[in-house]
Amino acid sequence: MELDLKKLKLRKINDKLQNLDRKQNERDFTIINPEGNHAICAGLNDEMNITIKGHVGYYCGGMNKKANITIEGNVGTGVAENMMSGKVHVKGNASQSAGATAHGGLLIIDGDASSRCGISMKGIDIVVKGSVGHMSGFMSQSGNLIVCGNAGEALGDSLYETNIYIKGDVKSLGADCIEKKMDKKHLKNLKKILKDADIKNYKAESFKRYGSAKKLYNFKIDNISDY
Amino acid sequence: MCGIVGIYLKNKKLENSLGSHLSKMLINMSSRGPDSAGFAIYNGENDNRYKYSICINKINFNDFEENIKKYFDNFELIKNSDHVIIKTYIKPIEVLKILKKNFKDVSIVGYGKSIEIFKQVGNPRDVVKKFKLENYTGTHAIGHTRMATESAITTNGSHPYSTGEDECLVHNGSLSNHNNLRRKLKKYGVNFNSENDTEVAAGYISNHLSKQKSLKETLKDGLKDLDGFYTFITGTRNGFAVLRDEIACKPAVIAETDDYVAIASEFQAMAHLPEVNNAKIFEPEPSVVYSWGD
């Protein structure tokens, strides 16, 4: 079913998708003329396939649960923020804070993501085929952030248990973020996510793993001058 | 919040529709700044006359015209709502002196050979309509919708700010060292009409440009001297530039085609532009000066 944002109001479209009529078997939707609108496909709870043809604004696919959303264009700030499960695939570039605070699911960005990608992520897998901007993975708690290009300044600042895998260069590491050994379990984990994201041209072995040095976990009196 | 928008045309194709495009962009950005709006338009005129953009506030236009005849004899007045453009060959140093001394109730919003500036309090939709922006033509244009934070909602508190010939600046963000910087710049002879932080940044840019520095060099120096957060769009007679601070928490999206460069706080403000879906769309990186023209 085709939904035209030039003809239908955003609230009407979101309302329809958030409250799917289960008696009907319609599970495939295409949204046309998104024209940079915010919060398209936010808060979807059911399994369905959605293709958005064009560029979208902020918080696209936010709080997603189960839905499979593809955006054929660029996305604004906070794509798939607080996603619980499901999949969001951006075919263009993403703005700041992609996948912020998300608990689960898979976010794939074919282009670049700008600053603070995966900020405070809590279990989502984020795969960026291009590069990410500064402060990516900031205070991230769990999940995997995979970047096939380069990472900007202060990568993984103050992170907790998130695994960050970068193929290219890292401009600088943030506080308490260090390069870590790639064990077998990490390789296995990375291989699985690369496969899920349909990435065949990069080998898991060519990535480097970054994580927490765990020196900021607890308050230490010796660090008082740093606060 | 605040919304900023700008278009720089690379050829003549869209010159006749420049005002109409900017108008739609500003109206779309009303949600980011409902308090006041303004725009600067460079119409590329080159008859060597200076144009002084004046907001006459509550003064009756006929009274203003009568009064101004006492001081100037070779000039043309163009009225647009509560703004007036004075066209004359007389140089800024003289005109500004006369206006400041004898017309204390008007606000000089800008001057130059190409630029015209209009700004007023009110919802952007009303402001744009009032000044009939959609009828304007030109080579590049910059606009702003304001959500007031640092100073009062007044005409002088509205953007764009212009502190030099054919220069203007719009800003999304706020500066924290503007008081110190204002004091310094006053010593160099820069004049300020408000307590607004952005006006200080505009004064900083003018002061630099007056020392024969390029727009690019000026903005690079600005990265060191302007403390705060900002996305700036700045215009000169033939130039157009964008700068974000090193944290880059204030949004900006650029769309570039063979015909134009457009920038806005949010993509939706540009969604109506011709060929935008085939444009190169990117987010300007922090601390990088993006400039077009000279």
Residue among A6, A35, A135 with most chain B CBs within 10 A, to mutate: A35
Mean pLDDT within B264-276: 96
Task: Report, as an integer, the average pLDDT of B20-27.
Answer: 97
On whether any CB of chain B is under 8 Å from the CB of A57, the answer is yes
Taking residues B17-21, report their average pLDDT: 97
Same domain, B175 and B58: no
Q: Report the SS3 class of residue A72.
A: strand
Q: Are residues B51 and B188 in the same domain?
A: no
Contact B144, B124 (CB under 8 A): no
In a shared domain, residues B38 and B51: no
Q: Please judge whether A133 and B251 are an interchain contact, meaning their C-beta atoms are less than 8 angstroms apart.
A: no
Last residue of a domain, one of B63, B78, B112: B112
Least confident of A223-227, B51-55, B99-103: A223-227
Distance in Å, alpha carbon of A36 to nearest chain B alpha carbon: 4
- Shared domain check, B25 and B78: no
Residues B172 and B271 placed together within one structural domain of the fold: yes
| Domain membership of residue B93 as a residue range | 47-112
- Which one of B25, B247, B268, B277 makes the best mutation probe of the A interface by having the most chain A beta carbons within 10 Å? B268
B121 within 8 A of B35, measured Cβ to Cβ: yes
Q: Which of B112, B142, B158 is the last residue of a domain?
A: B112
Residue B120 in any domain: the answer is no
* Residue B10 in this model has a pLDDT that exceeds 90: yes
Contacts of A221 (CB under 8 A, 6+ apart): none
- pLDDT above 90 covers a percentage of chain B that reads 89
Burial label for B93, CB within 10 Å (0-12, 13-18, 19+), is exposed
Residue B147 lies in a domain: yes
Tokens of A227: 């606060």
The reply to whether B217 and B271 lie within a common domain is yes
Tell me, yes or no, whether B65 and B157 share the same domain.
Answer: no
| Whole-number Cα distances in Å, A154 to A173, A210, A221, B203 | 4, 12, 24, 33
In a shared domain, residues B285 and B172: yes
List, edge to edge, every strand of the sheet that includes B75-80: B75-80, B83-88, B50-55, B107-112
The share of chain B scoring above pLDDT 70, in percent, equals 100
Q: Are residues B88 and B67 in the same domain?
A: yes
pLDDT band at B73 (very low <50, low <70, confident <90, very high): confident
The total domain count for chain B is 2
| Contact A97/B at CB under 8 A | no
Interface contact flag, B281 A58, Cβ < 8 Å: no
B-chain CB neighbours of A96 within 8 Å are 248-249, 251, 283
Which pLDDT tens digit goes with each residue over B156-183? 999 999 999 999 999 999 999 999 999 9
The correct CATH number of A2-214 out of 3.40.190.10, 3.40.50.2300, 2.160.20.60, 2.10.50.10 is 2.160.20.60
Phi-psi region of B272 (alpha: psi -120 to 50; beta: other; left: phi over 0): alpha
- Look at residue B39 and tell me whether its pLDDT is greater than 80: yes
Q: Is the dihedral of CA B209, B128, B122, B86 positive or negative?
A: positive
Query: For A95, which residue in chain B has the nearest alpha carbon?
Result: B283
Query: Averaged in consecutive runs of 10 residues, what is the pLDDT profile of chain A (227 residues)?
Result: 96 96 91 96 97 97 98 97 98 97 98 97 98 97 98 96 98 96 97 96 97 86 74
Asked if B56 and B38 sit in the same domain, the reply is: no
The rounded distance, in Å, linking the Cα atoms of A49 and A72 is 13
The predicted pLDDT at position A48 comes to: 97
Whether pLDDT at B1 is above 90: no
Instruction: Note whether A73 contacts B251, CB cutoff 8 Å.
Output: no
Q: Is B266 on the interface with A (CB under 8 A)?
A: yes
Q: Quote the mean pLDDT of chain B.
A: 94
CA distance A171 to A131: 11
SS3 (DSSP) at A218: coil
Query: Domain check: are B229 and B170 in the same one?
Result: yes
pTM of the model: 0.92
Cα separation, B24 vs B134, in Å, equals 8
What pLDDT is stored for residue A22 in this prediction? 83
Judge: B266–A133 Cβ closer than 8 Å, yes or no: no
Q: What ipTM goes with this model? A: 0.88
Whether B121 maps to a domain, the answer reads no
Where among B112, B138, B153 does a domain terminate?
B112
Task: Give the count of beta carbons closer than 10 Å to the beta carbon of residue A53.
Answer: 15
pLDDT of residue A227: 63
Give the per-residue pLDDT at A150. Answer: 98
Tokens of A114: 């700008």
Q: Note whether B251 contacts A95, CB cutoff 8 Å.
A: yes
**Is B2 among the residues known to form the active site?**
yes
Assign residue B253 the CATH number of its domain: 3.60.20.10
